[in-house]
Structure 1
């Protein structure tokens, strides 16, 4: 890590106050962008999407669980592959603690993958997650919302991920979509991909406050499934 100057408390306080002005600028800009996001137009969902759940097949509207807002996390699991996306698992590790709060503010959460439900159940059990996670296997949901791609798209070398701004090419990629329900009607209000999901990562926010920051040699290169860290707590290791 690069060496830092050591200064007096007075000099540090002057530098900290100057940086505080920049932080306030960022906070105000964040609020402005969030307001713009909320003001985006919506698209009515006309397709009859169906999802496999432990209690049977349900429609998109059922995933709201009586609330008017729904966040869908597009968890990257590819049919026929044993790989579990470390980044998606990192995001998912943050969900259950927050969920108890945002569910009381009219927001439901569900993860959706296009693998069979049996694969989802196995991963969910291994990782110890409690949030809802359903299968879109056999349907077009993942393709329609920009996180799964056909063989032809992958072969072309450009799947148009993240509104065409990313060069990533894979059968399945990650993202997040937001829906609103008004009676029997469901609307799509927002989707984000790639680093747009970074805002969900509380661990990153802690690291960003420290001298080493995220301590990366490549984007999230240090992240592992939480049961694969060599120094994980013994209590966690015993339950893996």
Structure 2
């Protein structure tokens, strides 16, 4: 195998590693500041009513909290006419099931919401072997209001709003990924507290965080270019070069 890195003595490696540790600690402290600023964001009261199709019948946004005070919704890219969910979104939510007992114990409900009909979501969930709650927002405007779903008419205008800025339609799609958080207060009111999009979702993907610490890192030709649905890797060439 071609060696791209310098080979040094353990003493020299330790010196380089300590220098990197200083940078990692700086990153950790900055992340702490970002987390504090995130918690300090103001809230917006949800005035619009949404009804979602769920395996247990129609439910409102407030119902989706499932008895807890906090709700995190992953806006999963799965359009009404699609036959399968987005591979990138599938990669991200592969990490959800193991989180559920910990989040639920900490008063947080985690779900996914997509514009595909519930029957398609349930069939795909069965294929993927997932257990996290997944609801259909088909026709209720929820994903559109959170700027992750766009009509052809909107795309034809040349620009859409995504990740809090205008995005050229040429770089957009009818569905895009995102995550939103909500708080329900004792009087039953629901507040939007946070949303994130695009690369803001990366920290939720534990596989990427681990790859960042592997010798070759993410070893990709484009952003998540190596990703497949987890039942499709046998048909894909194994990633070796890089």
TM-score normalised by structure 2 residue count: 0.92
Once residues 210 and 17 of structure 1 are traced to their aligned partners in structure 2, the CA distance between those partners, rounded to angstroms, is 18
Write out per-residue CA displacement over residues 112-169 of structure 1, whole angstroms, 9 at most, x where no aligned residue: 0111111111111110000000011111111111111122211123212111264431
Aligned-residue CA RMSD (Å): 1.5
1:198 to 192, 198, 202: 202
Once residues 155 and 2 of structure 1 are traced to their aligned partners in structure 2, the CA distance between those partners, rounded to angstroms, is 49
**Equivalent in the alignment of 2:192:** 188
Write out per-residue CA displacement over residues 35-64 of structure 1, whole angstroms, 9 at most, x where no aligned residue: 000100000001111101111101101111
Q: Partner of 1:77: helix, strand, or coil?
A: coil
- How far apart are 1:82 and its partner, in Å? 2.0
Mapped contact 2:95–2:206 kept (Cα < 8 A)? yes
- How far apart are 1:231 and its partner, in Å? 7.7
**Equivalent in the alignment of 2:17:** 16
Once residues 65 and 229 of structure 2 are traced to their aligned partners in structure 1, the CA distance between those partners, rounded to angstroms, is 28
Please list, as runs of the form range in 1=range in 2, the aligned pairs for 1:211-226 lying within 5 A after superposition: 211-226=215-230
Q: After alignment, is 74-83 or 56-65 more displaced?
A: 74-83
Structure 2 residue runs of 5 or longer lacking an equivalent are: 237-242
- How far apart are 1:102 and its partner, in Å? 1.3
Q: Partner of 1:160: helix, strand, or coil?
A: strand
Please list, as runs of the form range in 1=range in 2, the aligned pairs for 1:29-68 lying within 5 A after superposition: 29-68=30-69
Please list, as runs of the form range in 1=range in 2, the aligned pairs for 1:88-167 lying within 5 A after superposition: 88-164=89-165, 166-167=167-168
1:171 to 170, 174, 190: 174
Mapped contact 1:43–1:187 kept (Cα < 8 A)? yes
- How far apart are 1:2 and its partner, in Å? 6.2
- How far apart are 1:81 and its partner, in Å? 2.1
Structure 1 residue runs of 5 or longer lacking an equivalent are: 233-240
Structure showing the higher helix proportion among its residues: 1
- How far apart are 1:83 and its partner, in Å? 4.1
Q: How many pairs does the alignment contain?
A: 232
**Equivalent in the alignment of 1:25:** 26
TM-score normalised by structure 1 residue count: 0.93
